[in-house]
Structure 1
């Protein structure tokens, strides 16, 4: 998913802002999955198994290459309805734990 900026005006408090402006599906460019995979390789789980969920937020560096801006292992909005079958895949993943 690609999200737009939430805080756009310096010093302006907007309590009515849209939580995920400009939300759209996104197919990453070739270097982006490699950077995200490298970031996730640094994270372990207590049981040693795979992560059920993780989100790697990337931003362009000065030269345009992707850099990690944020790595989240918990998310209040999983965007399960953004892709067909998302809810079903999540249920299957949880059931497989």
Structure 2
């Protein structure tokens, strides 16, 4: 798997906020309406909308509209890609960036 550092960094940056990590944890239970997510926080709906936009921009969260309501869920495929990215990043594999380890100064 070829590592895409730019995409990985964008997702990691989005997840570097404790409120967004909590949103991911909440959504791990399944799809939820924005109003139900908001009950877990002490901030306003516009602030939740900002957090959701950041998570959607990096394709970790998906949104489904039903009338006036927004329902959010995890994009499981992209969450799995993130896990694989992190595993490949920290694991010594044949695709290691330092292919010729004899020349490596580490």
Tell me the TM-score normalised to structure 1 length.
0.27
The structure with higher relative contact order (CA 8 Å, sep 6+) is 2
Task: Tell me the TM-score normalized by structure 2.
Answer: 0.25
